[in-house]
Each structure stands twice: as structure tokens, then as C-alpha cells.
Amino acid sequence: MKLFPGGHLSRRKFLAGTGAVAAGLSLISRQAWCDETPKLNFYNWDTYIGETTLKDFKVASGINVKMDLFADNDELFAKLKVGNPGYDLIVPSSDYVERMILADMLMPLNDDMIPNRFNIQESFFDASFDPGRKYSLPYMWGTMGIGYRKSKMNSTPDSWKWLFDSDRYKGRCALLSEASDVLGAAFKYMGYSLNTKDPKIIKEAEKLLIKQKPNIKVFAPDNGQDLLLSGEVDITMEWNGDILQVMEEDPDISYIVPKEGSAVWEDALAIPKGAPHPENAHRFINFILEPSVGAKIADFIQYATPNKAAKQLMPESYSKNPAIYPSNETLSSCESSFYLGADVVRLYDEAWSRVLSA
């Protein structure tokens, strides 16, 4: 009997909290651009880098990487919006890259210092959130979908219906707890765009969720995979990488992108304004884009790499895994989420507050 099966029971959240405190306390010197000390302050998600990547980089370049962890994009954004506390490299998701560009929080990348950028698959350079990829380069990508326990399903849950419009799994299903994620999936189920701005449709989604609420056990703050693994729920809305981690431990768990389509996300590497060691950050980005380095990271964290050279080095169990690389047909039904402006964010939040207090 294990106390915390899986071991990563919200480790992300917990570690991020302690890391954030540590970062807040440490006084980081602000060095000039030219004579950089061999240091790099990396602000990353938990379990989101290769086991030896930081050590390998130290051997290759002599630069010491200090890594702090954040739990979600909101934490990253809230931390940096009052001024960069000394981070050189951050990993925001695409819609937050867009927000940060709008708020003038990112430093343009110097392409000459990142020759390995040509290892990235061409399609990633066509990014609407960062036209021409002036400020960011893709790190990993994936999808949002449904994680489920095969033995407890009547049929493969290939539709959002089972989470949003059915009492078949009453008391055994969980949804994510962020307004935009849940509303976005509800929009997809109802046949609208993930990035809906229309107040009428938002209201419609709110009604759908309020109607479905009695069947939902919990809105899980990014720990749906743990609930699934511990048997608390049998079907949950989650990010593919999180479910992949528990699929390794329990072969009865599987992942699917619903047929109505879903969100496809990308986490990007970017350098925040006020970074004390921007040159080192460029060197580290270039190092990560090295095929062998990228492959080692992908092998450890099991997310889809946008690095085509690294992907070629990976075994078929990774590069042909539909939970990591969905089919083109599935992908064509998916959308990435955009920053929709303060007014729509407020509409979402108010709808979500009403859902939670209904």
C-alpha cells in the first residue's frame, strides 16, 4: 500500500510554491549584458526537463543553471508583471507568450545565436501568437483530452459528451478547474470555436456546465491524473502529458482526444525583459535544440517535441504514440487558445464563478 501512489501527487503545485518563495528571497545580481557571469536562472514547470540536461549544459558551457518551478501560467505572469525578479529564461504557454508580448515583457531573440533553430519543424514558425517567432521558440506541445480507466468504460469515451452532457459516469468524472480550459472544451462540444467571445455562447456553455454539475465529482486543479490513478474518478479532462505519466504506471489508463476537437497547446522558451544573463539564455536555448539533447528531454518527460531532428532519434514507441502525436485528422479539429482580451477574460471568470456557486 503506497501512501501517495505515483509520487507526483501535485508535486508540481507544492514544489512550485516552495521554489517561488526561494526565488523571491534570493537576491540575484543584475549583471550587464556584456560581461556575464556563468549563471542562468531558469523558471520552468515541474518535471519538464531531462534528468541530466542541466548538468550536461554545465559540462558543455561551464554555465551553472539554477532552476525554479512554477505551477501554472498565471503564477508565472503574476510574478513577472510586477518586475522581473531575475529570471533569464521562462517557459510560458502560447497564449501567455501573446499576453507577455502585448505587455512588453519579453526580449526579442537574437537568431544568430541560435543556429539550432533550424532543427525545429517548419510549421511551428507560423505562429499567430508570435508572428515570425521574434520572441519565442517552441519547447514542447500537446493536446487537452480525456484520460480514462479502460475497465470502467462502456465504450471508448471519444466525445466530450461523457464529461459535459451525460450522467453515465455520475460521481466518477472530473474536469479541470480553469475557466478558459473548461469553457473552451464546452464550446468545442457545442460545435463552436475554442476561442469563443460571444456572450450568448458563453452563457450557453455556463448553462450546460450548471446542468452537468451534479454529475461531476470535482474540478481538479491539475491533478486529474492522480485522481484517475488512485481510483477516485474513472474519467477526467486532462493534458496529455499528465495522463501519459500515469499510463506508464497503470496499463488500465488511456488517453483520447475527443472527436469534436480540443485545445492544442504549445509551451515556448522566451527571455523576459530585465534578464540578467540574456546571452547565457540564448546559449541554453541553442543547447536544448541540439538533436541529442532534445531527444533526451523528450524521452524523460514524454511530451511531443517540435524538434524534428530530435524526434528522428526517438524509438517508435514515442514517435508513433497517438497519445503523444495525434493523427493529422485529430489535429485538424483542434485549435490553440488565444488571449481574448480583458473583457472576455472577465466574462469567462464571471461565468465560471456562477458555475461554481450555482
Residues at the site binding other proteins, with contacts judged by CB under 8 A: 1, 3-4, 9-10, 14, 17, 72, 74-75, 77-78, 81, 99, 102-103, 105, 171, 178-180, 213, 216-219, 221, 230-232, 342, 345-346, 348-350, 352-354, 356-357
Closer to other proteins by Cβ: residue 216 or 288: 216
**Side-chain-side CA neighbours of residue 156 (13 Å):** 8
Closer to other proteins by Cβ: residue 38 or 221: 221
Alpha-carbon gap, residue 288 to 293, rounded angstroms: 6
**Residue 78 to residues 83, 85, 263, 268, Cα–Cα distance (Å):** 9, 11, 23, 18
Smallest distance, other proteins to C-beta of residue 178, A? 6
Smallest distance, other proteins to C-beta of residue 8, A? 12
Contact 40, 281 (CB under 8 A): yes
* Residue 318: all three cell numbers together: 514515442
Smallest distance, other proteins to C-beta of residue 78, A? 6
* Residue 5: all three cell numbers together: 501512489
- Nearest residue to 183 (alpha-carbon basis) of 168, 170, 201: 201
Q: Taking the C-alpha atoms of 14, 20, 25 and 27 in order, what is their torsion angle to the nearest 10 degrees?
A: 140
Smallest distance, other proteins to C-beta of residue 105, A? 8
Smallest distance, other proteins to C-beta of residue 311, A? 33
Closer to other proteins by Cβ: residue 217 or 277: 217
Smallest distance, other proteins to C-beta of residue 102, A? 6
- Nearest residue to 5 (alpha-carbon basis) of 234, 245, 226, 247: 226
Alpha-carbon gap, residue 92 to 76, rounded angstroms: 7
